[in-house]
Amino acid sequence: MQLYATELVGAEAYDAQGHFVGRVREFFIEPADQPNRISHFLLSRGRFQPLVARYNQVAAVAPGTIRLNCSERELTLYTPNEAWLAVRKDLLDQQIIDTQGRKVVRVNDVDLSEQKTNGNVELRLTQVDVGLPGAVRRLLQGVVAPGFIRKLQNPLPQKTIRWEFVNLIEPDPLRRVKLRITHEKLEDLHPADLAEMMEDISAAERQGIIASLDEETAAAVLAELDERLTTQIVEKLDPEKAADILEEMAPDAAADVLGDLPRETSEELLEEMPGHEASEVRGLLAFDENTAGGMMNPEFVFVGETATHDEVLQWMRLQDMNVDQLDTIVLLDGNAKFSGTVPMSRLLLADPDQRMVELKTEPLIGVPGDADEKDVFELFDKYNLRMLTVTNSEGRPIGTITVDDVVSRLVKK
């Protein structure tokens, strides 16, 4: 039989002798034991201390009624337990993340199924109701009979989420640990989807999620979030955790975040970061954010222009680089000065012995680090660029700007 949480809240509980022992005020899941089993029922009884019935003490369940297989004397007095998830308090009317639908939703009710085991009845949480039927049950709970509510809800469109696709939002890190709440499901989502969902939850909930994600995922999500929200989150993170996340970001993204923080906070985080990464970010922060230097990423692939196709490919195989974002290679002449670029498409189609200088695009286009961002936008538009090289006063490349950087900057404006 399918049951709903709203049908159990306030239900009358009777012992094996048929004596009334209290009303169901709350019921719990013990995630460390069984992630979806209702493990305990909290029975209130007026001015007396509440009792607790365990899952193996339940003989039968029906809307509005619970019958136990033991006497009242075998029940225990209630004491709070942070390792228990309270269905009424922690789930009903609370926001959760639907990891399959990639959105934040509010729980109206919880669906429960019966499972008979060793002569008793266990209840298993199967799905959460985020649609109109659950809202109707919540609204009419305790006002009209459960049977009438069921008839009323039948023609309404169903909207439920299976329990395995639910990710709970718990801001308190200690309680998250006790409840065994992890965000492994969230780490499988695209960072842009997770960032969009995080904009719909409270500041405390955002903080809790970012703090519990691995550093690589957290960095990707923060890079997609609104700058104001990113600043708020990083400011409240533990400095060591914040520095670890910034280390996983592209240097230009990390510089953008640190540039929006108070100077003292920014310096503290830079001190926590490894020397090389911190040095790269400090170099970017030296540029005005509205210049080419303020937009560039100092991490880029460069090779000598006399290298051959095969030599470059063999060298690249030995490097630790993000090939998914590799679009263009920067060329250096004999004096280590910028001499051109080669798109990856040209490199892959070239003959094994062709030299890089033969593959470079024309004309030679680059900008100094202090060039205004408007000049950068114009160059991308005029030459339909995918990447632009930034050079120092000696003509040596110090970074690159991708079309993604330009789009992101334009969107923010």
Q: Which residues of 374-385 are buried (b: 16+ CB within 10 A; e: fewer)?
A: eebeebbeeeeb
* 391: CATH: 3.10.580.10
Instruction: Return the pLDDT at 175.
Output: 64
Q: Which of 242, 259, 286 delimits the end of a domain? A: 286
For residues 235 and 347, state if they share a domain. Answer: no
- Report yes or no on 148 lying in a domain: yes
Residue 179 in this model has a pLDDT that exceeds 60: no
If DSSP codes are grouped into helix, strand and coil, which group holds residue 39? strand
Of 217, 176, 216, nearest to 194 by C-alpha is 217
Distance, in Å, from the CA atom of 340 to the CA atom of 305, rounded to the nearest integer, reads 8
For residues 156 and 208, state if they share a domain. Answer: no
- Report yes or no on 170 lying in a domain: no
Residue 29 near residue 85 (C-beta atoms within 8 A): yes
Instruction: Return the pLDDT at 96.
Output: 85
C-alpha dist (Å) from residue 191 to 179, 200, 394 = 25, 15, 39
Token readout for 298 is 């100092």
What is the DSSP code (8-state) at residue 412? H
Range of the domain at 9: 2-163
- Report residue 326: phi and psi, to 5°: -85, 115
Instruction: Return the pLDDT at 164.
Output: 86
Q: What is the bridge-based pairing of β-strands 38-45 and 48-54?
A: antiparallel
For residues 232 and 325, state if they share a domain. Answer: no
- Report yes or no on 293 lying in a domain: no
For residues 224 and 125, state if they share a domain. Answer: no
For residues 158 and 31, state if they share a domain. Answer: yes
Q: Please write down the HEC assignment for all residues of 352-405.
A: CCCEHHHCCCCCCCEEECCCEHHHHHHHHHHHCCCEEEEECCCCCEEEEEEHHH
- Report yes or no on 382 lying in a domain: yes
If DSSP codes are grouped into helix, strand and coil, which group holds residue 316? helix
The mean per-residue pLDDT over the stretch 290-314 comes to 94
Number of domains in the chain: 3
- Report yes or no on 296 lying in a domain: no
pLDDT digits (tens, 9 = 90+) for 107-141: 999 999 999 888 889 999 999 999 888 888 888 87
According to DSSP, the residues that pair with 341 across neighbouring strands are 330
**% of the chain at pLDDT higher than 70:** 96
Instruction: Return the pLDDT at 176.
Output: 62
* 277: CATH: 1.25.60.10
pLDDT band at 292 (very low <50, low <70, confident <90, very high): very high
For residues 371 and 308, state if they share a domain. Answer: yes
Instruction: Return the pLDDT at 152.
Output: 80
Residue 1 in this model has a pLDDT that exceeds 70: no
Separate counts of helices (H) and strands (E) for the chain: 18, 21
pLDDT digits (tens, 9 = 90+) for 73-91: 999 999 999 889 999 999 8
For residues 325 and 276, state if they share a domain. Answer: no
- Report yes or no on 181 lying in a domain: no
Distance, in Å, from the CA atom of 287 to the CA atom of 269, rounded to the nearest integer, reads 19
For residues 87 and 232, state if they share a domain. Answer: no
* 155: CATH: 2.30.30.240
pLDDT digits (tens, 9 = 90+) for 193-227: 889 888 888 888 889 888 888 899 999 999 899 88
Distance, in Å, from the CA atom of 40 to the CA atom of 53, rounded to the nearest integer, reads 6
Residues in the chain: 413
- Report residue 298: phi and psi, to 5°: -75, -5
For residues 13 and 147, state if they share a domain. Answer: yes
- Report yes or no on 182 lying in a domain: no
For residues 42 and 147, state if they share a domain. Answer: yes
Contacts of 311 (CB under 8 A, 6+ apart): none
* Dihedral, 103, 107, 109, 112 alpha carbons, nearest 10: 60
Residue 299 in this model has a pLDDT that exceeds 80: yes
Rg (CA), the chain: 30
> Is the entire prediction scored with pTM above 0.85?
no
CA 289 to chain centre: 28
pLDDT band at 380 (very low <50, low <70, confident <90, very high): very high
According to DSSP, the residues that pair with 355 across neighbouring strands are 308
Q: 1-5, 304-308, 326-330, 377-381 — which is least confidently predicted?
A: 1-5
Distance, in Å, from the CA atom of 246 to the CA atom of 388, rounded to the nearest integer, reads 24
Q: 28-37, 204-213, 216-225, 303-312 — which is least confidently predicted?
A: 204-213
